[in-house]
């Protein structure tokens, strides 16, 4: 058990959990009692420099663990939460059950997860000195200890903070850049896993992965994570630091199965034919507008014509614009979108997605109404 707990963190935890400092002895020791647990008594030095600090800290952990009925390990995490979220990537197969993995596959498992994390961080919304802060964040990413069961590597992604006064709209005292990146990493991979679990048709997979912004770099990293033979299942979960609140929806493990590797390979081949065009303007009616209960952004499709084809172009709808697009959808108004378009042709079918939008126009009573809000896709 680690005893490297700051004295201030221990006394703060005692105070927050009903203990009170009842006395000090010879300007050297402090005695704490609890009204809820009258038989409990905690003795600590007044300074970490005291020669008995470690021994008394061990006694304190033992005392609190007994009365609060939590394990030593859990208690230590409560007293001094970690400054990082631990991303755990588990390879599951018969050949790694003993806690060993071929060297090259082990390297790929770790490096591909790291690449996915860095790639997600680059998609964070623009803010002041973004490159500088991301560079500092990268420098603080750590590699945790590997674990048996079947074979697990850990990436310690720091709760790196940006001065909230510089970017009050994006950051506040309860939100770190690191936690934003880690949530984006989890959310993106969870959605990809869901697509693979629910879909088998390459056309549908292509459309949905385009909407999620999955590109060739993502594909390369995901393929590598399975190893050279692509015969292992993969489980990813995040041990979130208790220093920042995390919603329940981010706590379930994410699963990828060996059969998913081939789907990624097929999608990557399709991406070779992807065309990206900027400042494309398309008009049509809104279809398939939806937004998940916990989602800040909605998704919709624009029925329109592109390259002499009838297509449904997907796009992201922000919270502010959602009511406007919803009304246009219900009233079957014509909407004109301008932005950066991605298009992929699979066999004789076209999949298209607005990667970002720079302008919206809605036809109201045969007149075009311009919306001032500029929207950018979260995938950009």
The whole-chain average pLDDT of the chain stands at 88
pLDDT value at residue 378: 44
pLDDT value at residue 164: 73
Residues 275-302: pLDDT tens digits? 999 999 999 999 888 887 666 778 899 9
- For 207, the token pair is 């459309």
Given a cut of 50, whether residue 379 has pLDDT beyond it is: no
Query: What confidence category does residue 109 fall into, taking pLDDT thresholds of 50, 70 and 90?
Result: very high
pLDDT value at residue 364: 64
Question: What value does the mean pLDDT take over residues 41-59?
Answer: 92
Q: CA–CA separation, 87 vs 143, rounded Å? A: 10
Residues 161-205: pLDDT tens digits? 888 777 777 787 778 999 999 999 999 999 999 999 999 998 899
354 near 301, Cβ under 8 Å? no
The alpha carbon of 102 is separated from its chain's Cα centroid by a whole number of angstroms, namely: 28
- For 112, the token pair is 């591909």
Determine what percent of the chain is predicted with pLDDT higher than 90.
Answer: 58
- For 378, the token pair is 């979260």
Query: What confidence category does residue 226 fall into, taking pLDDT thresholds of 50, 70 and 90?
Result: very high
Query: What confidence category does residue 380 fall into, taking pLDDT thresholds of 50, 70 and 90?
Result: very low
pLDDT value at residue 230: 93
Q: 317 versus 147: which is more confidently predicted?
A: 317
Residues 81-100: pLDDT tens digits? 889 999 999 999 999 988 89
299 near 208, Cβ under 8 Å? no
pLDDT value at residue 146: 83
Specify the long-range contacts of residues 52-59, CB closer than 8 Å, at least 24 apart: 53/7, 54/3, 57/3, 57/5, 57/10, 58/1, 58/3
Q: CA–CA separation, 280 vs 60, rounded Å? A: 66
Q: Which residue has the tokens 């059969």?
A: 259
pLDDT value at residue 178: 95
Given a cut of 70, whether residue 238 has pLDDT beyond it is: yes
Query: What confidence category does residue 4 fall into, taking pLDDT thresholds of 50, 70 and 90?
Result: low
Query: What confidence category does residue 80 fall into, taking pLDDT thresholds of 50, 70 and 90?
Result: confident
CA proximity to 192, closest of 168, 218, 217: 218
Question: What value does the mean pLDDT take over residues 203-229?
Answer: 93
pLDDT value at residue 373: 44
- For 228, the token pair is 């050279």
Buried b (16+ CB within 10 A) or exposed e, 20-43: eeeeeeeeeebebbbeeeeebebe
What is 251-292 written as a DSSP string? Answer: -S-EEE-TTHHHHHHHHHHHHTT-EEEEEEEEEEEEEEEE--
Q: 377 versus 54: which is more confidently predicted?
A: 54
Residues 309-367: pLDDT tens digits? 899 999 988 888 888 899 899 988 999 999 999 999 877 788 899 988 888 888 865 44
CA proximity to 344, closest of 283, 266, 284, 291: 266
Given a cut of 70, whether residue 113 has pLDDT beyond it is: yes
Given a cut of 50, whether residue 22 has pLDDT beyond it is: yes
pLDDT value at residue 6: 84
The pTM of the full predicted model, rounded to 2 decimals, is: 0.76
Q: CA–CA separation, 215 vs 327, rounded Å? A: 32
Specify the DSSP class assigned to residue 250: G
CA proximity to 91, closest of 83, 101, 82: 101
15 near 31, Cβ under 8 Å? no
Question: What value does the mean pLDDT take over residues 19-44?
Answer: 93
pLDDT value at residue 293: 65
pLDDT value at residue 376: 46
């Amino acid at each position: 058990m680690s005893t490297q707990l700051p004295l201030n963190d221990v006394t703060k935890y005692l105070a927050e959990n009903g203990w009170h400092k009842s006395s000090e002895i010879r300007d050297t020791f402090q005695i704490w009692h609890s009204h809820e647990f009258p038989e409990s008594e905690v003795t600590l030095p007044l300074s970490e420099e005291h020669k008995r600090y470690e021994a008394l800290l061990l006694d304190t952990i033992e005392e609190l663990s007994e009365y609060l009925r939590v394990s030593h390990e859990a208690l230590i995490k409560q007293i001094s939460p970690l400054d990082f979220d631990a991303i755990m990537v588990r390879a599951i197969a018969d050949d790694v059950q003993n806690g060993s993995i071929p060297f090259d596959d082990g390297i790929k498992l770790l490096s591909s997860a790291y690449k996915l994390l860095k790639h997600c961080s680059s998609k964070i919304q623009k803010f002041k000195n973004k490159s500088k802060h991301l560079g500092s964040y990268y420098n603080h990413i750590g590699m945790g200890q590997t674990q048996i069961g079947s074979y697990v590597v850990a990436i310690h992604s720091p709760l790196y903070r940006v001065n909230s006064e510089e970017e009050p709209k994006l950051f506040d005292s309860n939100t770190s850049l690191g936690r934003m990146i880690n949530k984006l990493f989890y959310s993106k991979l969870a959605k990809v896993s869901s697509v693979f679990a629910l879909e088998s048709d390459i056309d549908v997979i292509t459309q949905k992965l385009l909407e999620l912004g999955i590109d060739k770099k993502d594909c390369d990293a995901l393929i590598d994570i399975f190893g050279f033979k692509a015969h292992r299942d993969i489980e990813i979960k995040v041990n979130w630091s208790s220093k920042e609140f995390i919603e329940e929806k981010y706590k379930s493990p994410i699963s990828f199965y060996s059969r998913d590797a081939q789907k990624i390979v097929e999608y990557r081949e399709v991406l070779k034919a992807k065309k990206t065009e900027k400042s494309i303007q398309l008009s049509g009616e809104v279809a398939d507008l939806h937004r998940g209960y916990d989602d800040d952004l909605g998704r919709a499709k624009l029925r329109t014509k592109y390259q002499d084809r009838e297509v449904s172009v997907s796009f992201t709808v922000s919270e502010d614009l959602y009511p406007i697009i919803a009304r246009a959808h219900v009233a079957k108004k014509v909407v004109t979108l301008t932005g950066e378009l991605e298009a992929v042709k699979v066999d004789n079918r076209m999949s298209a997605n607005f990667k970002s939008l720079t302008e919206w126009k809605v036809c109201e009573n045969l007149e075009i109404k311009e919306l001032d809000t500029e929207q950018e896709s979260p995938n950009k």
